Amino acid sequence: MTTVTDASLTPMMQQYTSIRKDLPKNTLLLFRLGDFYELFSDDAELASSLLGLTLTRRNGTPMAGIPHHAADSYINKLLRAGKKIAICDQMEPPTPGKLVKRQLTRILTPGTAIEDTQLEANENHYLLAIQLKNDTLNAAWLDLTTGDFTIASDANSQNLLSTLHAICPKELIVPENDSKLWQNNPYWNAIKFLTTNKPVTEVPDFFFDTSTNFRNLTEALNVLTLEGFGIEQDHPAISTACALITYATDTLCNKPRNITRIKKLEPTQCLIIDPATLKNLEIFESIHNTPSRTLIATLNNTVTAAGARLLEKYLITPLLDVPEIHRRQNSVAAFIEQPSPLNALRHALKHTRDLTRILCRLQNGLRNPRELAAIRETLLQLPHIKTTLVNFEHSLITELNQKINTFDELKLLLAEALNDELPSKSNEGSIIRQGFDAELDRLRSLTSNNQSWIANLERSEQDTTTIKTLKIKYTDIFGYFIEITKSNLHLVPSHYIRKQTLSNVERFYTPELKIKEQEILQAHQKAMAREEELFLNLIQNILSHSSSLYSTAEALAQIDLFSAWAHLALERNYCQPSIDTSDIIEIEQGRHPVIEQVLQEEATTSFVPNDTWLKSDNDQIILITGPNMAGKSTYIRQVALITLMAQIGCWVPAKRCHIGIVDRIFSRIGANDELSRGFSTFMVEMKETANILHNATSKSLIILDEIGRGTSTYDGLSIAWSTIEYLHGNLPSGPKTLFATHYHELIQLENTLPRLRNYSVAVKEWNDQIIFVRQVIPGAADKSYGIQVARLAGLPPAVISRAKEVLHQLENNGPSPNISLPSPKHKKASTSTNSQLSFF
């Protein structure tokens, strides 16, 4: 960053340079000048490139400006580009001949934005700090917009990295001198992948120094020790929590005021889903970039932003805690039992607003009058919500209902004090209702009378001077003046005093107007000051109820999510799964939740349900054969998704379901290259398989699709064979596994592995055509039907015909046949084939 520090700079540019030099690196400074935020030097050139701004020069210095009233849209673009933005505001009205006092009021970064226009309402907005210490990965993540604050530590980095991928942080902060520690870690590639396409900020190492910053952490939480949160004094991840608070304080230009709790996450207390499985199961993101076709979108039937964010948190940390799963399930069941009040409840919830994020902004000094109206609107709904909840005669719903306060006095105060329509900024006035405050009404009447006096004066001067275009105008800098066009200057009375000359007009004032100006400005300023005082009093009154408001908001979020799941279960015929600590997965007529919804929306066909029976010490491995497109991948995915849904407390798409808690879900599906990282399809496949084999336990669920297809047929079959044997092992039980394959030779393993069962996806043949039945049945498939599938895909008839000839020769002559040349009618067709060979 090049900045000029020459003493010959104007006072304003000296002020700019003084503020600019103390900013963190890679930060753009928006410097308020009147109605614009200006950028100078390198900042201007970068902003011009990113935002398409016109670049100008002043005394040789590049500069670009954005209107202050439209700043949000420009800032959002910069944040999405991973940039940081410092806001320097004017702290006093401009006075002619005096340098305006300016001050840094905010540093916006991708992970610390709290403004409503810079957030996705339905998504959590996490800032993540990570640190390696003694080969242990420590982490803390904070959503400044809600105060959600968590720390975790694990010597097995892979366990914790799974959760960190799921939270999808908007920004990461790391110690600036930790790079060597990272690269020596065995999970370096996974850590590196976590930071891909995310803004990473290197901060001074002292940010992570507990001895220096622990007091900042406890002061932000308003406690003396963390033991009340169940966090021991020597917990290794406290350093990362300290770094978050220090960084948040720097960017807010003040201590965060909305953080009241911190919790400790033990990764081994949650169902762990590794990053590859998160991607393969399309839990948060669609492989084909179709947001509506993800599990979170399918389950998100909520009507509030807080409910949607709670769903995301539940999917990030699925449970191993059976009693808590039962609490969530039974809450859903209580809503299902009363469909009529359920609809009334959801209608009332739809009219509530995001209390948690509104309180965050108020506590941290962002004061939008319309957000007070949002609180008023929410409070008006609470009595109706509480009355409706009484209809659900269940102790769990009663418990949630008791956490909702109706705030009768606050509700009445806001109704009496606030106008029906409110401005977006407090300095625009018209916030407080007429009749609420006698002093404000008196000052407003003075202002109103004075404005009438100005209007009367304008008409009088027009008549006296015969200048019909004469206008009395006002600006913040020049106050009130009489404006006359150049063509009428010969009619100007002698007692007019010239104030300013412009290209087309002259501006004048009179002693009478000057005196009145002082009266008007004083009355207006006093009215604005009184209204600001009343507005701040309302905010303080709201914040005095913040603890109870947060509690109410949390209860409303749970009510929204559980009632949304109940509505979903009724609409889509979901069942309540039986959850325990057994080693069984039993699903009767299970369906894939996402694909079923897509088929319903497209109204093309209905989803074919299938049963599943897995038991760690008996039917441990299900080997599934069948042609491509028959539904093997859909089937194994749906079992994993149903298991996940059950362990977040949701009901599931099945007729009946029994899930014994699983500790991990692993998958190896698809053949997605990572060429940009130097990994081939086969290398990715083997890395993911290795992770499964090293970390799976007898309580895990594994789904594998086409292991070994990324290499030669012999190698692939050998790897698939040995992988199944390894998963089976010699112990009495092993991880529950669904293994889909085209290697028909593997079906022989049922004869040697007592816990392996052969299944297949049924198809029907008719006139050399196949019909996909989508039914998973006991027994192995008799053949792969590859040529029939190729015909369905649209291969030319000549290719299909020649493929049949080659297949016939392979089947008759073994794996190394002397394949004859094609007959003349096939000369234009390719003779190459990738068909699977039979070895045994």
Calpha distance 498→508 (Å, rounded): 4
What pLDDT is recorded for position 785?
Answer: 65
Residues 522-553, buried b or exposed e (16+ Cβ, 10 A)? ebbebbbebbbebbeebbeebeebbeebbebb
What's the length of the chain?
Answer: 840
Q: 426-440: per-residue pLDDT in tens? A: 888 899 999 999 999
Q: 215-239: per-residue pLDDT in tens? A: 999 999 999 999 999 999 999 999 9
**Do 119-269 and 573-785 show the same overall fold?**
no
Q: 190-214: per-residue pLDDT in tens? A: 777 788 888 999 999 999 999 999 9
The CATH code of domain 438-539 reads: 1.10.1420.10
| Orientation of helix 339-349 relative to helix 546-572, angle to 10° | 130
| Contact (Cβ atoms closer than 8 angstroms) between residue 684 and residue 674 | yes
Among the residue ranges 184-193, 483-492, 578-587, the one predicted with the least confidence is 184-193
What pLDDT is recorded for position 712?
Answer: 63
Fold of 300-407+545-570: MutS, DNA mismatch repair protein; Chain A, domain 3 (1.10.1420)
**pTM exceeding the 0.85 threshold for the entire prediction:** yes
What pLDDT is recorded for position 733?
Answer: 95
C-alpha distance from residue 389 to each of 133, 337, 356, 627 (Å): 49, 12, 21, 51
Single-letter amino acid, residue 760: S
* Residue in the structure block whose two tokens are 């308003």: 222
What distance lies between CA 479 and its chain's CA centroid? 47
Q: pLDDT confidence of 786, banded at 50, 70, 90?
A: low
Q: Which has more confidence, 525 or 817?
A: 525
With H, G, I as helix, E, B as strand and everything else as coil, classify residue 485: strand
Q: pLDDT confidence of 820, banded at 50, 70, 90?
A: low
| Token couple for 779 | 């027994």
Paired strand residues for 612: 587
Fold of 11-108: MutS, DNA mismatch repair protein, domain I (3.40.1170)
Q: 664-690: per-residue pLDDT in tens? A: 999 998 655 443 344 567 788 888 888
CATH for 573-785, among 3.30.720.200, 3.40.50.300, 3.30.110.40, 3.40.50.80? Answer: 3.40.50.300
Q: What mean pLDDT value characterizes the chain?
A: 88
What pLDDT is recorded for position 788?
Answer: 64
| Token couple for 294 | 């993800």
What pLDDT is recorded for position 135?
Answer: 78
Report, as an integer, the average pLDDT of 55-67: 89
| Token couple for 274 | 């590794």
| Token couple for 629 | 């497109």
Q: 297-337: per-residue pLDDT in tens? A: 999 999 999 999 999 999 999 999 999 999 999 999 999 99
Q: pLDDT confidence of 836, banded at 50, 70, 90?
A: very low
Single-letter amino acid, residue 380: L
Calpha distance 404→549 (Å, rounded): 8
What pLDDT is recorded for position 780?
Answer: 86
pLDDT at 611 over 80: yes
pLDDT at 148 over 50: yes
Report, as an integer, the average pLDDT of 801-805: 72
Residues 563-579, buried b or exposed e (16+ Cβ, 10 A)? bbbbbbbeebebbbbbb
Closest CA to 46 of 68, 32, 69, 26: 26
C-alpha distance from residue 557 to each of 303, 309, 398 (Å): 10, 8, 15
Specify the CATH class of 119-269 in words. Answer: alpha beta
pLDDT at 814 over 70: no
What pLDDT is recorded for position 94?
Answer: 79
What pLDDT is recorded for position 810?
Answer: 65
Backbone φ, ψ for residue 533 (5° rounding): -60, -45
- The domain spans of the chain are 11-108, 119-269, 300-407+545-570, 438-539, 573-785, 795-840
> Residue 451: which residues within 8 A CB-CB, separation 6 or more?
520
pLDDT at 469 over 80: yes
Q: pLDDT confidence of 832, banded at 50, 70, 90?
A: very low
Strands, sheet with 84-90, edge to edge from the N-terminal-most edge strand: 56-58, 61-67, 36-40, 27-33, 84-90, 102-108
What pLDDT is recorded for position 538?
Answer: 97
Report, as an integer, the average pLDDT of 755-779: 83
Q: pLDDT confidence of 555, banded at 50, 70, 90?
A: very high
Report, as an integer, the average pLDDT of 414-443: 92
pLDDT at 657 over 50: yes
pLDDT at 476 over 80: no
Report, as an integer, the average pLDDT of 108-135: 92
What pLDDT is recorded for position 593?
Answer: 97
| Token couple for 523 | 């009355």
Calpha distance 805→423 (Å, rounded): 78
* Residue in the structure block whose two tokens are 């990570």: 130
Among the residue ranges 390-394, 600-604, 696-700, 785-789, the one predicted with the least confidence is 785-789
Share of the chain above pLDDT 90, in %: 65
pLDDT at 840 over 80: no
Q: pLDDT confidence of 614, banded at 50, 70, 90?
A: very high
Handedness of CA 297, 302, 303, 305 (dihedral sign): negative
| Residues 404-411: contacts with CB under 8 Å, at least 24 apart | 404/552, 404/555, 404/556, 405/545, 405/548, 405/549, 405/551, 405/552, 406/379, 406/382, 407/379, 407/382, 407/545, 407/548, 407/549, 407/552, 410/379, 410/541, 410/542, 410/545, 411/376, 411/379, 411/380, 411/382
pLDDT at 6 over 80: no
Residue 733 exposed, middle or buried by CB count within 10 Å (0-12, 13-18, 19+):
middle
| Token couple for 107 | 């540093």
Q: pLDDT confidence of 767, banded at 50, 70, 90?
A: low
Q: pLDDT confidence of 833, banded at 50, 70, 90?
A: very low
What pLDDT is recorded for position 521?
Answer: 81
What pLDDT is recorded for position 790?
Answer: 66
